[in-house]
Amino acid sequence: MIARVIILTGFILLYGFLFSAQEQKALVRDVTLDIALPVNFHKITSGYLKQLTAEMLFIQTSVFLGGVRPGTPPESYAEALGNNFEVMTSLYPRFIDPYYVCQGFLPHISQEAAAKANTILETGIAALPDDLILRFFHGSNFFLAMNEPLKGAKAFSEAAKLTNAPPLFGHLAALLSAQGGDIAAGLISLKIMLAGEKDEVVRARYQQEIVIFEQAIEVSKALEAYTNKHGVAPESLDQLVPAFIPQLPEIKDLFTLNYTPPTLTLQRPDKKKLSQQH
């Protein structure tokens, strides 16, 4: 009995030693990600094994991501990462895992990497058009990582047409339209959502937002009138008062009215900044 305990303890200690040695070796070793060959090459060489090839490439890429040394600049492997995800999803478009991993790593690197992620997600949306999560990833990247709210509004507007789409998609389409300067489109989206909403609490919120959007549109009309008369947009909204609008609306809390000549936008206030101010 004592001998068995000694032998077992020895095995445990040996395993711990080998595990630690392997871990230390991995920490000091530079891990690289090879760029996969073009998808057409894989399609020709893989034949009927495209799915297997895509899965093998996914495993290879996942192992790389799990072994990246702390402090490694993501920009150093962004191109290879984007290329590999594009190849594997083109080979096997219904392979859902790559889209999730891609979203977890690419969009946060740079605007270019986010654009690449959206190209990859579009492959998934084409293959799985009813997948709401892929739609959410796609629309979110436009305004969170690429600073293109109008494209995000378009993506969410299309997603909102799906029979199982949550109201969130339509609401985001409205908010992003206004954030991108198309306040009229945002107002239309809000009115459509109000017409189909039965929850009185939600209806009240939509009605409150509609009032704000309508106020912003009055300012937009005044801007247009000023520009038509003077041939140039005003430098500030104060120049509209009182000739083109009696007074500027007091829009606060829910939205902020922002003007960067010649564009007027309506967007949610930054809650972090508000909390710091208070």
Domain ranges across the chain: 34-66+76-147
Put simply, whether the predicted model's pTM sits higher than 0.75 gets the answer yes
pLDDT tens across the length of the chain (278 residues) = 676 656 656 656 654 554 455 455 544 455 567 677 677 766 666 656 788 889 999 999 999 998 888 899 999 999 999 999 999 999 999 999 999 999 999 999 999 999 999 999 999 999 999 999 999 999 999 999 999 999 999 999 999 999 999 999 999 999 999 999 999 999 999 999 999 899 999 999 999 999 999 999 999 999 999 999 999 999 999 999 999 999 999 887 789 999 999 999 999 886 545 444 44
What are the residues whose beta carbons fall under 8 Å from the beta carbon of 186, sequence distance 6 or more? 153, 173, 174, 175, 176, 177, 178, 213, 266
| Gap between the Cα atoms of 69 and 217, Å rounded | 52
- Residue from 116, 111, 106 nearest 146 by CA: 111
Q: Number of C-alpha atoms within 13 angstroms, CB side, residue 215? A: 17
Between the alpha carbon of residue 17 and those of residues 9, 66, 151, the distances in Å are 12, 22, 54
* Neighbour-count burial of 182, counting CB atoms closer than 10 A to its CB (0-12 exposed, 13-18 middle, 19+ buried): buried
| Gap between the Cα atoms of 172 and 150, Å rounded | 11
